[in-house]
Amino acid sequence: MHKHGGARTRGLAAELKELRARSGMTTREVAKRTGFSIATVNRMENGRRRITPEDAASLLAVYGVTGAARARILVLARDSDLSGWWETDDGDLPVHLPALGCFEADASRIVHVAMLRIPGLLQTADYIRTALIAVDFPAEKRKSMAAARLQRQKVLLSRTAPNYLAIIDEAALRRPTGSRELMAAQCHHLVAMAERPRIDIRIIPFDRGSHAGLDGSYVQMEFAKASPIIYLELVQSSMFRDAEREVRPYLDTTDKLMKVALSSAESVKFLRRLAGEYGRE
């Protein structure tokens, strides 16, 4: 059983809360128009009350959500008791993006294990744009995708920022994404972020050999009053895993990687050296 609901319930709650915010309505106004109590609206938005398809339909009608967006949210409400949450992306932005942003904002701790690319919350704007071009991300969607990622990064700068740990394999830093100048700037940005409170960046250099993280990148999100969630980003799809038996191996992998990674201070020195290498002609 999930403490305060699984990823689907909590993601649905986050999306409905965001839709209410966009509508400009207060919970009192929504309660009056739907017939729910204010407490019920609050519990649904906090993921502490199951949201039935009928509940969701009432809220979506008030928020003016129609068409494919309405259909997708109703399916999510119907399947909210299922473990895990996998979606195929075929719209302007990844389907999971609203929920991911809300989970990041609510998390007490975020761990990003990055084997091939710089973690999204630590990427410079130039790195984001270049990375999107490199994977042939549709040109007409790049601007909105880059803007969404930059918006998500603000969670690390807020007064209530979560503790953030990035474990980055040297491969993600050595593979050029754009020019040498761009990579030097990205390394300098990582150094600057590592100096901020509640942000810890750990590098796993090549000379540490094979390690548990090579099975793949993931994001681990922990919460003060809810169970952890793992986020996996795949080609044209993404997945949240929330069952304890599925989450535990990732938590164990994080512990293993911390034993082979450089210390915080050593990681910063590594990044400064690498920035210098990229900066040389």
Helix, strand or coil for residue 204? strand
| pLDDT tens per residue across span 264-279 | 999 999 999 999 999 8
Structural domain boundaries of the chain?
1-82, 89-279
Asked which of 90-99, 109-118, 183-192, 253-262 is least confident by mean pLDDT, the reply is 90-99
Distance CA 88, CA 60 (A): 22
Which pTM value belongs to this model?
0.84
Which among 281, 262, 278, 261 is positioned nearest to 124, based on CA atoms? Answer: 278
- Residue 90: its pLDDT value, please? 61
Which among 260, 255, 173 is positioned nearest to 208, based on CA atoms? Answer: 260
Mean pLDDT rounded to a whole number for the chain: 91
DSSP 263: P
User: Between these two residues, 95 and 72, which has the higher pLDDT value?
Assistant: 72
260: its two tokens? 């082979």
Helix, strand, coil % over all residues of the chain, rounded to 5: 55, 15, 30
CATH architecture, domain defined by 89-279: 2-Layer Sandwich (3.30)
Question: Does 89-279 match 1-82 at the fold level?
Answer: no
Region 1-82: CATH code: 1.10.260.40
